Structure formats: C-alpha cells, structure tokens
Amino acid sequence: MRIEREIGMRSIEKVGRESGHIKREPVSNLLYPSLKSLQFNPKPEVLLLYFQREISGLGDTFDEFNPLVHLRPQMGLLCLSAAARSIGVEAVVLDQRAIQYSLEDIAS
C-alpha cells in the first residue's frame, strides 16, 4: 500500500521527488531533528501528532509548500497541549513536518 511506503521522513522526500512538483531543499538533522534525538522532561503522557502534508494527502494541494519558506505552527494542537498542562498532564506536539519520526517510532 502506498501509505506504508510513505511513512518516514526519508521516504517522504522520495515521494516529493516522484510527484515532480514538490521542491525540497536538502534538510539537515539540525533543522529537523529525529524524535529519538529529542529529550522530553517530564516524559509526556499524551502525544499530539501532526503528520506531514505529503502523507496526509495535503502535499498535492499545497504544491508550493516548502518547509524552509513556510512552516506554520499548528495552533489547535498547541492549544490542546496547553489545556492538558492545565490539568497537570504533559502533552507534546510532534509535528512531523519538523521532527523526523515514523509510526513505528511512536509505537515504540
């Protein structure tokens, strides 16, 4: 299935090239850290996931999308994160446009 091939940052870049209309500049791990390289303190109890547009289908819609030019924070998830903190629960936003992770990383 296409979706299974697309999961993971490296394959996203491949999909971008295949589709022919998503220009991607080389990204560095400094700009886009992997989930494993991030330190969470305290350990989150809730993960708020936002997936790459290329994966969730919006890559075709925003073909001018280039994360080095336009990467808008996801207000809804930031608000949910704050709401969870207000009841003492640590909830972190994992924005896949800016953090490299796969569904398997989440599961583990």
Partner 1 sequence: MHADTNAKMINRLSAITDGVTIVVGGPGHPNYKLFLENGATIVCHGEGEETFNDIIRKVQCGDLDWSSVDGISYKVSGAVIQNKPRSLIENIDDLPFPVRNYPLPLTTYRDYYLMAYRTPYVTMMTVRGCPYSCTFCYSSAQWNFKVRQRSPENVLEEIDYLVKDYGIKFIDFLDDVFGLTYSWVEEFSRKLIERKYDLTYKALINPNTFASKQAKAIELLSKSGCKILGIGMQTADSGTLELVKRTPMSREKLIEAVANAKRNRILTFVSFIVGFPKEPEDAPEQIMGLIDDARPTLIDCYPLMYIKDTKLAKQVASGELSEAWSHDEAVERADRVKRHFYRSPRNISAILTWVLMNNPGWYLRMLTQWRLLLNIAGFNIFRSKKDARSRYVFTEDTLDENRTF
Q: Which residues sit at the interface with partner 1, rule CB under 8 A?
A: 1, 3-4, 7, 20-21, 23, 31, 33, 38, 40, 45-46, 51, 55-58, 60-64, 66, 68-73, 75-76, 78-87, 89, 91-95, 98-99, 103-104, 106-107
Instruction: Kindly state the tokens that stand for 80.
Output: 């949910």
CA dist 71 and 48 (Å) reads: 17
* Gap between the Cα atoms of 6 and 102, Å rounded: 9
- Nearest distance, CB of residue 10 and partner 1, angstroms: 17
Strand partners, 100: 34
* Nearer to partner 1 among residue 13 and residue 67 (C-beta): 67
